[in-house]
Amino acid sequence: MDIIFLGGLEIETVIGIYDWERTIKQKIVLDIEMAFDIKKAAITDDISYTLDYKAVSDRVVDFVEASKYLLVETLIEEISKILLNEFPTPWVKITLNKKGAISRARDVGIIIERGQK
């Protein structure tokens, strides 16, 4: 199976468990990998035979911008459900980086894989 990916997708959202975090927007950075067989699209040169990464980006950005979860766990799980339920991919890997959440750490977050390749 091939991989279609989006790297460094930056989105501002309300996320966090502390009172001060409920009053501001913070940046999260997503790396998304989606399994997909690209052969038919490559042969036909036709967007309708592939997984449109622009459509994925638009859907994920709209969802995350409107969300207000406490935990990054909940947010990343909901993103994985959207990808698996709404797009033609059987497997996704998502990295959610809440940069700045830990002042001494450059990166902090979660990596999940869902579905079957």
Q: What are phi and psi of 75, to 5 degrees?
A: -60, -45
CA-CA distance, 46 to 67, in Å (whole number)? Answer: 33
Binder to ligand LV4SOB2L among 30, 72, 83, 94 (CB under 6 A)? 72
Active site residues: 98
- Single residue of 82, 101, 114, 115 touching ligand LV4SOB2L by CB under 6 A: 101
Written in H, E and C, the secondary structure of 21-82 is HHHCCEEEEEEEEEEECCHHHHHHCCHHHCCCHHHHHHHHHHHHHHCCCCCHHHHHHHHHHH
Q: Which of residues 2-41 bind ligand LV4SOB2L (CB under 6 A)?
A: 16-18, 21
Count of residues touching ligand LV4SOB2L (by CB under 6 A): 9
Nearer to ligand LV4SOB2L, 18 or 43 (CB): 18
Q: Which is nearer to ligand LV4SOB2L, 55 or 71 (CB)?
A: 71
